Chain A
Amino acid sequence: MHKKTLREHHQSLKAKDYSSVELTTYFLDRIKNSEDLNAFITVTEDRALMQADQADRTIGSGKMDLLTGIPLAHKDLFCTKDVLTTCGSRILDNFISPYDATAVNKLDAKGMVTLGKTNMDEFAMGSSNETSHFGIVRNPWDKGRVPGGSSGGSAAAVAARLAPVASATDTGGSIRQPAAFCGLTGIKPSYGRVSRYGMIAFASSLDQGGVLGTTAEDCALVLEAMTGFDENDSTSLNLEVPDYGASLRKPLTGRKIGLPKEFFGEGIDGDISASIEEAIRVYERLGATTVEVDLPNSEVGIPCYYVLAPAEASSNLSRFDGVRYGHRAALYEDLNDMYETSRAEGFGAEVKRRIMIGAYVLSSGYYDAYYIKAQKLRRMISNDFSAAFEKCDFILGPTTPATAFGIGEKDDDPVSMYLNDIFTNSANLAGLPAMSLPSGFDSNGLPVGLHLIGKYLDESTILNAAHLYQQQTDWHQRIPGGYE
């Protein structure tokens, strides 16, 4: 059952080969048997079985939707009503959300079943899932290695087939990098497609909800259900929801693929380069042509990102003050001490580092030199993409310069950790849709991720390209040993 795509599950549920309760129980059992991965912070068994039962009744009444009765996991950054919602942090280790995120609501409304809340880097700040207050997550391909981050729990869960699909979020690569590390397909849509209401904010102008799954088609179906205008989010786009599923099979003949030379330079693992070259040949066989494009400001993407994201985060995380909800220190002298002690106890080291960087770049006297300058660079990066897309339909490259690294390997070197985002975060800075899909394995048997970046609002083209690639290859069907 765990090897099926969402469409196959739909057919089986419709044909009553099995019920949603059976399917849900099956995945709950797999979750129980894989606790060593630590992919989940909370398993919502009761809620899942209740939703599955409800879904079975809907199916019985003949009114089912394509996704009705299919289980999924939510990253623990999406607020879920009456369920613990931690964002991977001690400061929210007692926070039961009184409301549902809009994205959760939309998937609930389709009849999907929530298996639980997945582990993540604290407040989505990390590329390895090692900053979570709830412990590291192990990569199902090699348990000594990280699954990537920040959506590490969602990625490990889907890679080990503990859930058919999972929600995730991407601020600088948090969907795509774990997808690459775990051999999955993941998409971050254009900024504004998925409502951020109920998504606990890290960097508001960069955060975007999306999906981790095993196939491009699965991602397309779930993304479509999550997408849409929300009057509670002023940055949500008031546009019709595209029919992502419908455009998956369009031939690629005549399409132009942009290859930024900046994405094929030094510092990329040889196995990854070889895998991407091979993927390009697959696309050429599918009728696409390639063209070299320039993204001259790529090299400032990381510094630009690591000014803007911490700046916004330092302000977004101010609400976690121990006054109204969340962790409050047991002992304190006065008001300031209560703030300081509660936050000192509640936040981990990486979160504190970014709050300090953020407060610094916004402080008077440094604002122009850092924040304003970074905003200018952001515009330049965005303009680079616009110019590149004059010449091509989508951009292709590696998702990460290296495959999954060992647990603890980058503990003492935050900058080397930040460099994991080198190819991914420019899509966030420019608000563009982007995805990662498996394109092979390195010599250690670790998955390699192929990165596709689309034009603004054009998720359809990259989903289409990913789907056709997956018709030619079977990398996405590989399952880590022990989870087949």
Chain B
Amino acid sequence: MQWEIVIGLEVHVQLQTKSKIFSGASTSYGASPNTQACDVSIALPGVLPVMNREAAFLAVKFGLGIDAEINQRSIFARKNYFYPDLPKGYQISQFELPVVGKGKLEIKTSKGCKTIGITRAHLEEDAGKSLHEDFHGMTGIDLNRAGTPLLEIVSEPDMRSAEEAVAYLKQLHMLVRYLGISDGNMQEGSFRCDANVSVRPAGQKELGTRAELKNINSFRFVERAIGIEVERQIEVIEDGGDVVQETRLYDSDLDETRSMRSKEEAHDYRYFPDPDLPTMVLDDSFIESVRASLPELPHLRQTRFVSEFSLNDSDAEKLVHDRDAADYFEAVCNSSAADTKIVANWMNGELNSALNTAGLSIKDSPVNSDRFAELLDRITDNTISGKIAKEVFSLLWDSNKSVDEIIEEKGLKQITDSSAIESIVDQVLAENYDQVAQYKDGNQKVFGFFVGQVMKLSQGKANPKQVNELLRNKLD
């Protein structure tokens, strides 16, 4: 039988605010345990939440970024359950009226483009962390993270393969970083994903029973976990069984999913509107101020790069993917006379491989966009050849000197003075009488030998174009 896979994703994105969603405590990552746990984070008796305006701003920014309805009145609700790292015994979240309503996201896979529906995105607070090591069999609680603002982004069950799910996640990841609403750091838990997966016979309208997969916090694990879960469900059904609605945990070490809790064991969260927080009202001017802060979105930027910088689609897409890289590219193009194609090639080539080797992001590149532009300018104005430029680039990487200082210091400047080149050419021809004779007899291949000799004698600095012209003049 042919099976169709149906996937919906829930992504928790940590919003990049300075302070927590309902208190003034800092949100920075990596502080020693409980040093960022204020009275509200600890949920002392009598403390109350106050909504962080910046978190609302970032949530709306996301909504505008996916062309969604923004709910100008949204409601915070309490999700009640007990857990040691949930200090109030409830999580403040949004249930019936989320801040962001229906929107959409365009993805691209090997099968082409597709639009994935986004059902909603709502604000909520993160829990703390339970630490199970180093406490002699007891559990430690770190409430630094408790109250960090999250945006939970819920997709429609629109994806039909693990590939589409990964493409959606990558697109979403790029978008939140582009919008500057999250650092998207998956290791630190700033971008976390749960997947709802089900299968149904191809052509059937009703959805199959779904399992919710937890703990899939890398793009690779998402693909693996979905693949394995789909196989499991198909096997269950083909063996005459029924898939049960449950939450399953993906174990990357064993590469399997296993049941965490069934539908019967599911919590009754007893949601109700939080009486401590009035309806969140966002007026038109607030939403307009968010709109004014929106950066150019990736797909629009890609189109502009193609028309403004004459790039082909694939180069433009590669560049746009990372907002910092795209910014770098634009900065270089705007301050350099170099051909944009050369800028793209150099970024994808030398710069990229140097960054990869050093394990650095483009933001932290030792060669900033100004110095990079200067280097490419020296190629364009024939001060140095492309080959020499590679040498200059590696010197730039390790020093604070300017491009011109390095060229000057190392004497790398290209020789463009015709008489100087001519005297080298004459010397080469005089010292290689046999080869000259061969060339005159019609052996064209020897021409490359002369070029090589001239470049060697000039230590690579002679302008290759002029060398070629002079040799032709003398020999032909």
Contact = CB atoms under 8 A, between A and B. Distances in A.
Contacts of B89: 315, 317-319, 321
Contacts of B46: 78-79, 97, 101, 196-201
Residues of A in contact with B, size category? 35 or more
Given A315-B80, A319-B88, A362-B270, A232 B50 contact: yes
A324 interface: yes
Interface string B425-447: 00000000000000000000000
Contacts of A95: 45
Nearest to A199: B46
B45 A362 contact: no
Interface string A95-130: 101110100000000000000000000000000000
A456 interface: no
Contact of B45 (A97, A235, A321, A335): A97
Interface string B357-376: 00000000000000000000
Contact of B278 (A92, A99, A234, A315): A234
Contacts of A371: 272
B42 A324 contact: yes
Nearest to B51: A234
Of B46, B47, B49, B51, most A-chain CB atoms within 10 Å: B46
B43 interface: yes
B80 A196 contact: no
A87 interface: yes
A315 B270 contact: yes
A234 B50 contact: yes
A312 interface: yes
Contacts of A324: 42-43, 87, 141
Interface in A113-161: none
A325 B44 contact: yes
A8 interface: no
Given A97-B45, A98-B39, A196-B48, A318 B88 contact: yes
Contact of A98 (B44, B80, B277): B44
Contacts of A98: 39, 44
Given A197-B47, A234-B277, A99 B272 contact: no
B141 A99 contact: no
B90 interface: yes
Nearest to B85: A323
Interface in B27-49: 39, 42-49
Nearest to B42: A324
Nearest to A336: B82
Nearest to B23: A232
Nearest to B280: A234
B87 A197 contact: no
Interface in B276-319: 276-278
Interface in A188-245: 196-201, 203-205, 231-235
A359 interface: yes
A263 to B, nearest CB: 27
Contact of A197 (B42, B48, B268, B277): B48
Contacts of A97: 44-46
Nearest to A197: B48
Nearest to A92: B45
24 contacts: A79-B44, A92-B45, A97-B46, A98-B39, A198-B46, A200-B46, A201-B46, A203-B275, A231-B50, A232-B47, A234-B50, A235-B276, A315-B80, A318-B80, A318-B89, A318-B90, A319-B45, A319-B87, A325-B42, A325-B44, A325-B45, A362-B80, A362-B270, A367-B270
Interface of B: 39, 42-51, 78, 80, 82, 84, 87-90, 141, 268, 270-272, 275-278
Interface of A: 78-79, 85, 87, 92, 95, 97-99, 101, 196-201, 203-205, 231-235, 311-312, 314-315, 317-321, 323-325, 335, 339, 359, 362-364, 367, 371
Query: Considering the complex of A and B, which 4 residue pairs feature the smallest CB-CB distances, nearest first?
Result: A318-B89, A205-B275, A362-B270, A204-B275
Given A87-B45, A197-B46, A317-B89, 17 more contacts: A79-B44, A99-B39, A201-B45, A204-B275, A231-B50, A234-B50, A234-B51, A235-B275, A235-B278, A314-B270, A315-B272, A318-B89, A318-B90, A321-B82, A325-B45, A335-B84, A364-B270
